[in-house]
Amino acid sequence: MVLAAVGAMIMLLGACADTSSGRGTGDPEQPPASPPPQLAAFYDQQLDWGPCGSYASTSDDAQAFADPKFDCARATVPLDYANPTGPTAEVALLRQKASGAEKIGSLFFDPGGPGASGTSYLANSASRLPATLGQRFDLIGFDPRGTGASTPKIDCLDDRENDAERTEVFADPSPAGVAAAEADSKSFADRCTQRVGADVLANMGTRDAAKDMDILRAAVGDEKMNYVGYSYGTELGTAYAEAFPRNVRSIVLDGAIDPTQTTVESSVKQAAGFQLAFDNYAKWCATQPQDKAPCPLGTDPAKATRAFQTIIQPLIDKPVPVGDGRTLSFEDAITGVTQALYVSEYWPILSRGISEVASGQGRVLQVLADSYYERDEQGHYSNMLEAFQAITCVNQKPVTDPAEVRELNEKSDQAAPYRSTGRGVVAAKGPCGYWPVPPTSEPHTPDVQGLPPVLVVSVTGDPATPYQAGVDLAQQLKGSLIKVNGEQHTASLQGNACIDDKVVAYLVDLKSPDDGAECTLAPA
């Protein structure tokens, strides 16, 4: 799975146009493809823009959404594209209008997940984006179907159930332990089916969200799509590019997902990516002044994983208090650590959190875990992780064969030993093994004949979407690649001049970076 980060940790996707040989096969100036007649009413709709206050999904977002520089609307789309005259869904959009006279069009953003809110991302990030983009484009964040302020909403658990779910730790590899873990997975799938509906869940995948994007493009009055997608947003952008290659002007993909990988391949490679990030953190930690902030894992990076396990694994049987009536579970501790591994700037906070657990407290790692789960100070959750699970289950073939389940869990445990319980692998099926509807996507090499050149950005130390996936995706899409040396999940439009100048030149002027383009992030 691909984990969603917050704020500056969430990244960008895009397609890059260039005239050099071997890049792309299409022309950004060619006329767009005509929509199917049965969808004409959706493509021709006029959006009713207004204040954004009611679109905020969490109390944390309320202030940002109230800013009068933003306006919001909902676009109507078919719930099931095979039945366009049937039930409909609504996709929420948040817009900051272009401030300059020479407007190019709209620039859509997806921050990842799957399940992350694009309206929230833009409301909280627009002021940090390069000024040129805000001058030349209407900046638009959207909530893919089922997420954020879009409807119908994927909402499987209430706040109390979310809190309770986070305290569950399934560390018993015995048949009884496997049965308990699978019962929990089945319970989650059953609640999603009962509360959301199988007919809705069946149409929540990337295949359908990409079709929604083309309706959004037309509804805002654009002939061609300009798009930036981070992490899972690269999967969504790739699906759009494959379905509507003639409708693309520019697409940037940052933190790539390789569409050719199976569920097992992508899961194991991501686990290895997070272990690499943990190892890099351990090397940094070992160099910190021992008289001021001693590394909680010691000064030998080769022993750091074992030292970490010694501190964290006791939480399986004895969670530690966090100060608000809750306790830090083993699962939440691992989630908090993983959240901090997304960006090297969080490493000092991670050291504090691990040191705190060693002394019998868990506040810092709990705050990090709350951030990952999008739990606000009032104890209210967004639906991000529920949407993550539901969308993932219709995007990937479920692993249900017991031998394959064991292989997946064993390989993942071996690839990321910092996450291990130390008690053996629990070979239990996850929620997707009990999902009520089949997947609507499968691994494949994209067919993008007619697509203008795209731009892919990939970070060498990206834990969630490993670097090589970006290299491979750029080749599959016949696009350009910016190699970024650094330790974080995605890097575009986050203040690094080397990266941002190249991305802006592509989005504004359709100028691809030179072959071998390379940038470096500042160290932690």
CATH number at residue 493: 3.40.50.1820
3-state secondary structure of 109: strand
For residue 214, indicate whether it is catalytic: no
Asked if the model's pLDDT at residue 15 lies above 80, the reply is: no
**435 located within any domain:** no
pLDDT of residue 472: 97
Report percent pLDDT > 70 for the chain: 95
Residue 428 domain flag: no
Owning domain of residue 489: 7-154+204-260+444-520
**28-37, 369-378, 429-438, 469-478: lowest mean pLDDT where?**
28-37
Structural domain includes residue 266: no
The reply to whether 174 falls in a domain is: no
Both tokens of residue 498? 């080397």
Tokens 């699906």 sit on residue: 239
| Closest C-alpha to 117, from 10, 205, 201, 203 | 10
- Averaged pLDDT, 84-99: 97
Q: How far apart are CA 345 and CA 470, in angstroms?
A: 23
Q: Is 34 a catalytic residue?
A: no
Query: Could you say which of 120, 344, 412, 489 is catalytic?
Result: 489
Is there a domain that residue 306 lies in? no
Determine, yes or no, domain membership for 164. Answer: no
Instruction: Name every residue whose Cβ is closer than 8 Å to that of residue 406 and which is 6 or more positions away in sequence.
Output: 425, 427
State residue 290's pLDDT score. 76
Q: What pLDDT, on a 0 to 100 scale, did the predictor assign at position 455?
A: 98
Query: Does residue 288 sit within a domain?
Result: no
Number of structural domains in the chain: 1
Beta partners for 92? 74, 143
Residue 524 is predicted with a pLDDT of: 66
What's the pLDDT score for residue 295? 95
Residues 14, 252 contacting (CB under 8 angstroms): yes
Sign of CA dihedral 429, 434, 438, 441: negative
Enclosing H/E stretch for 394: helix 384-395
* Catalytic residue of the set 462, 492, 500, 512: 462
- Residues 6 or more apart whose CB falls under 8 angstroms from that of 382 comprise 57, 58, 117, 148, 374
Residue 470 lies in a domain: yes
Q: Give the CA angle between residues 446, 450, 455 to the nearest 5°.
A: 65
**489 catalytic residue (yes or no):** yes
Confidence band of 6 (pLDDT split at 50, 70, 90): very low
Whether the pTM exceeds 0.85: the reply is yes
Q: State how far the Cα of 209 lies from the Cα of 203, in Å rounded to an integer.
A: 9
Evaluate if residue 16 carries a pLDDT over 60: no
Using one digit for the tens of pLDDT, what is the confidence trace for 243-270? 999 999 999 999 999 999 998 999 999 9
> Angle at CA 182, nearest 5°, toward 179 and 184?
110
Q: pLDDT tens-digit profile of 150-171?
A: 999 999 999 999 999 999 999 9
Reply yes or no on whether the pLDDT at 12 is more than 50: no
Predicted pLDDT of residue 32: 79
Q: Which of these is catalytic: 117, 125, 231, 492?
A: 231
Average pLDDT of the chain, as a whole number = 92
pLDDT at 364 over 50: yes
Task: Report residue 23: phi and psi, to 5°.
Answer: -110, 120
